[in-house]
Structure formats: structure tokens, C-alpha cells
Amino acid sequence: MAMVEERGFTDRLVDIILTIVLILLSLACLLPFLNVVSISLSGFTPVSANEVWFWPIQFNLDNYAFIIADEIFIHSFGVSVLRVLVGVSLGLLVMVVTAYPLSRDNIYMPGRTLFKTLMIIGMMFSGGLIPYFLSLRNLNLLNKFAVMVIPQALNIFNTILIINYFRGIPPELYESAVLDGANHFQVLFRIFLPISTPVLATVTLFSAVGHWNSWFDGLIFLKDTSQWPLQSYLYTRVTTRMLQWNVSGGAERAGYLYEQATPEGLQAAMIMIATIPIILVYPALQRYFVTGLTLGAVKE
């Protein structure tokens, strides 16, 4: 009978060192976030004097009141919400329909190997920004909302996760459904998708975070700033420190609100408002994350 070796001093020391390193890494991620939260909730005087660190001083919500009154900010927020809803829905449809025939070798599909090869090449190499821009222009997508959702509809990495997850589904389910007279769409939407919640939730999380955090495409492909998503608008505010605000209620109300707010506090409040939706979405999908990522990444 094998004896279980007792953990020695070296093993316990390694555990202690790893724990300390992980705690330090966690603090390195958490403390900047707490600093932003504290600045957004602090008063004018302590923020201006750089006295705020990890706890609000002279707690107030004036910065958030000013941001909520900014019409352009609210409009950009709505554009981002619409982008996530349309982009994630379209992306899931395209990726699922693409992954299904590629995952079933018994489906007749000429050029299957070539298509997979092109997918891998496309994931590893890029044609560059200028050819990409010219392609979008030739497709008449520039300066349109569609430019933010259509080019990202087929995410190759996420599609590969779905393909590998579909490959793990027992073939007996597919065969029994076909024997009962089900066509491919019925097999996909009535059998495969209901039992693929982990990988679909994982892909949804990846897609939602990607669309919500994307700012570069708005700046490059949209000339009309009224079509910018929130992150593009936020990027210009934070990096250029622009202080022109379109506040509903007139100049008098804007002047009063700005007296109670600070540029640093306003930037922190904008960052927090842009972060809150992802913070709310992630816990709802997190329980599927590890399962979907693991099963989708392993090919049997």
C-alpha cells in the first residue's frame, strides 16, 4: 500500500511564496480600480489636492450627476448597448452556423479542409489596416453602424471553440435525430444548441466584452461622432482632456454641476459607468466560463 508523503518545509515555503505573489498581483489589479471609484465619489477639494487614494473623501455623486446630464455621453452609451446586442446576436448566429458543418465529418461539404486552413491563416495573419480600410470602403460599410458589427461577426477563435465542443457531442444523438427525419437545422437548433450552453455562454462573454471595449473602429471608420460607441467617446475625453460638455438643462445647470465636479472626477465617473455593464454581465456567465473554454479547446 503506497504511503502518502508528508509535505516538507520546502513545499510549504513554495505555497507561502505563491500565495504572497498571487495576493500582490490581485492588489495590483484591485487598487487602481478602487482609486478610480474613490475619485469618482469624492468632493472637489480633496480630488483637486490629490488627497484621494482608496477611499472617498467628502462623498458625493456630483460627478455622476454631471455625466448623466451629458447628452452625448448618454447617446454613446446607447450606441454601445445596441452594438453589443446586435453584434453578439449576429456573431452567435454566424459562428454557430459555420461551426456545425465543420464539426460533422459525415456532412458532405466540398472544400472543408481548404476552408479550415483559410480560417487558421486568417486568425494568425492580418492584411494590415490599409487593405482592411479599403475593403470596408469597397463594401460601402464606412460611416455606418454596420461597420462595427459585420466585420466581427465571424470570430475565428470563438468558432473553433464551438467546433470542438460540437465534436464532443455523442454522434448517437445526431444519428437518432436523422433517423427520426430531422434535417440539419432541426438537429442544430433543437439538439446541439440546447446542450451547448457552456460554450455558447463563453463565446457570448468574449463577444460582449470585445464589442463593449472596442474603441479603435469607431475612431477610424466613423466620421460622424454621433455614431461613436461609448469607448471611442471615452477615449477622446480621457486622452485629450476635453472639457466641452453638452449638458441638458442649459448653461446655468451645466455651470452649477461643473462647479461641484472636477476633470479627474468626471473622467473617473465615465470610466466607472463604462465598466459597470461588464461587471454585471460577467458573474452571470462566469459559471459556464471554465467548462465552455475547457471543453471547447480540447479535441478528442
Pick from 141, 275, 119: which is nearest to 217 by CA? 141
Predicted pLDDT at 84: 92
Predicted pLDDT at 18: 92
Maximum mean pLDDT: which of 36-40, 169-173, 241-245, 286-290: 36-40
Distance CA 35, CA 55 (A): 7
CATH of 61-300, one of 2.60.40.1120, 1.10.3720.10, 3.40.50.300, 3.40.50.2300: 1.10.3720.10
SS3 247: strand
Q: Phi and psi at residue 166, in whole multiples of 5°?
A: -60, -35
- Helical H runs in 214-250? 216-221, 230-240
- pTM greater than the 0.85 cutoff: no
Predicted pLDDT at 241: 54
Is the model's pLDDT at 72 over the cut of 60? yes
Name the residue ranges covered by the structural domains of the chain: 1-60, 61-300
State the chain's mean pLDDT as an integer.
Answer: 80
236 Cβ contact list (under 8 Å, min separation 6): 219, 242
SS3 190: helix
Pick from 274, 271, 242, 245: which is nearest to 258 by CA? 245
CA angle 116/105/190 to nearest 5° reads: 100
